[in-house]
Structure 1
């Protein structure tokens, strides 16, 4: 908790106060928004806090030690800034939330009460409730790498090292027909074999979803043309003519890394990790113990 300004501390000691709560929300995509339980718009610390969202907070508690503290924030889904589609798309998952106590008569008098991240979000009857997890909650989460056969790098990132600017691994296209919310008949990808973009990333360059990145679940070709199936949950509708860029997909397997990307030196998994049958096995007569990998 931050130190209180002397003027705000003195004001809080009065019988009647003019304080309110403000929440500054910073999403992972960099979008910043401000909300307040006051009935008027406030500008605090260079951020505009809007009242029309109807946000309200539950009881908050700060405890000593490493205990995880949480507080719930409720609001209406009908606001212009927070929509059901954006919440379903995960745009607010892991967002940073700063809670401020502000003297609304003198907005320069404020204190940062706590910093938290958005955890579980529940939706019902046109409203949402977001659980704000304290910074101590990160100590309760597993960190570091997991030992598994699959690669744990994202294709094209610094750990992977593969350059996606090769035209053989990127494409551009446009939506021809919207068969379902996540099933699209597209043009511009006829030069690529079926499955080339499965598990890849599609970035919209026009339309309602412009700038959004979505994971491709399936890429198939048949007599009707090229079809892309996106992971469900994207916010905003897709219309015919919307354009996009797309990069090849990777299923995180060593064989795919070798055959499709020739990038085995940067593979971030453990492809020769033996399974439980080998780990719990025992020496038998006639067994081979020449040091060769158990998994090819």
Structure 2
């Protein structure tokens, strides 16, 4: 006897479900069934327009993949959120359940959201399986600059005093004027700005440079910026050995090879 009897017989009671968890912790459930379902404490909203492509799974080293498409709805996945990047890298689990008794789900695939396309009020999203991690390089390449991220486990610089909150006073193209001044020259250059208020709440932005009470972003956020929006500023690092030693006193943890000859050795000559 099958462990999943609802898959047998001339008429099945199968419903497909998607569990999506964004990087900021927001989690939603969608089902292709015509009624909402409750599975493991999460309500899966009815989204009959959600349709998956064929799910390809294997025991080889090739990456599993699947595409899912459906309508854009304000209560589930909105076009604004997709374009703003809130769903980039979201974790996705796809499974099937018996809609008459959704207590024993059958896993079909899991991974993260990849490329997302929107058109005519609908979206198509690529699901990248966990095997895609095997496509990444297994060793790092040498580089004259540091490969660690400021404050991570390899860098080990304490970040407790290198973050602060501020409010936006004015916004002009990529430049923001804030209500507080940086602690040192270009302290937030190559750092990060996190939006805690306003239309862009939950998004991150890379900082190109900072000067006094202004910061210049690599690019403006997708939604409008208003005065009074709360942001968090995180100091950055230009990843040079001189900065690591002089500014952070952390040369012992520098993760680069500034004196290793590279391909530019061929272009060097006396007086260059």
The bucket for the TM-score relative to the shorter chain is 0.7 to 0.9
Cross-structure match for 2:165: 172
Q: Which moved more, 1:87-96 or 1:105-114?
A: 87-96
Structure 1 distance, partners of 2:189, 2:9, is 63
Query: 1-side partners of 2:33 and 2:93: how far apart?
Result: 16
Look up the SS of the partner of 1:79 in the other structure. coil
Q: What is the SS of the residue equivalent to 1:162?
A: coil
- Give the aligned partner of residue 179 of structure 2: 187
137 and 16 in structure 1: CA distance in 2 versus 1, 3 angstrom threshold: same
1:202-281 equivalences under 5 Å are 202-220=193-211, 226-232=213-219, 234=221, 236-278=223-265
User: Do the aligned residues in 2 keep the contact of 1:177 with 1:184 (CA within 8 Å)?
Assistant: yes
TM-score calculated relative to the size of structure 1: 0.80
Partners of 2:157 and 2:2 lie apart in 1 by 51
Aligned partners of 1:85 and 1:234 also within 8 Å: no
How much has 1:85 moved relative to structure 2? 3.7
Change in 2 beyond 3 A, CA 1:50/1:236: farther
Deviation at 1:72, TM superposition (A): 0.4
Number of the residue aligned with 2:63: 68
Report the aligned-residue RMSD: 2.6
Q: CA deviation at 1:269?
A: 1.4
* Deviation of the 1:146 alpha carbon: 2.5
**2:77 pairs with 1:82:** yes
1:94 alignment counterpart: 89
Against the structure 1 CA distance between its residues 47 and 231, is the aligned structure 2 distance closer, same or farther, given a 3 Å change threshold? farther
Following superposition, the deviation at residue 236 of structure 1 comes to 4.3
Most deviating of 46-55 and 245-254: 46-55
Which of these residues, 36, 39, 42, is aligned with residue 44 of structure 1? 39
Larger Rg: 1
Cα distance between partner residues in 2 of 1:276 and 1:101 = 53
TM-score norm. by structure 2 comes to 0.86
Aligned mates of 1:5, 1:206 — CA distance in 2? 52
Match of 2:149 in 1: 154
Contact 2:98–2:105 (8 Å) recurs in 1 = yes
Q: Give distance in 2, aligned partners of 1:213 and 1:18.
A: 43
Q: Which position in structure 2 is the counterpart of 1:196?
A: 187
Q: 3-state SS of the aligned residue for 1:137?
A: helix
- Alignment length (residue pairs): 268
Q: Runs of 4+ in structure 1 displaced over 6 angstroms? A: none
Distance 2:46 2:222 in 1: 24
Distance 1:230 1:84 in 2: 24
1:106 aligns with 2:101: yes
Deviation at 1:153, TM superposition (A): 1.3
Distance 2:220 2:11 in 1: 47
Q: CA offset at residue 207 of structure 1?
A: 3.2
Q: Contact 1:173/1:189 (CA < 8 Å) preserved in 2? A: no
Distance 1:176 1:265, change over 3 A: same
- Unmatched tracts of structure 2, length 5 or more: none
Q: Distance in 2 between matches of 1:5 and 1:246?
A: 56
In 2, the alpha carbon distance for the partners of 1:130 and 1:146 equals 32
Structure 1 residue runs of 5 or longer lacking an equivalent are: 282-286, 288-296
CA distance in 2, matches of 1:12, 1:186: 59
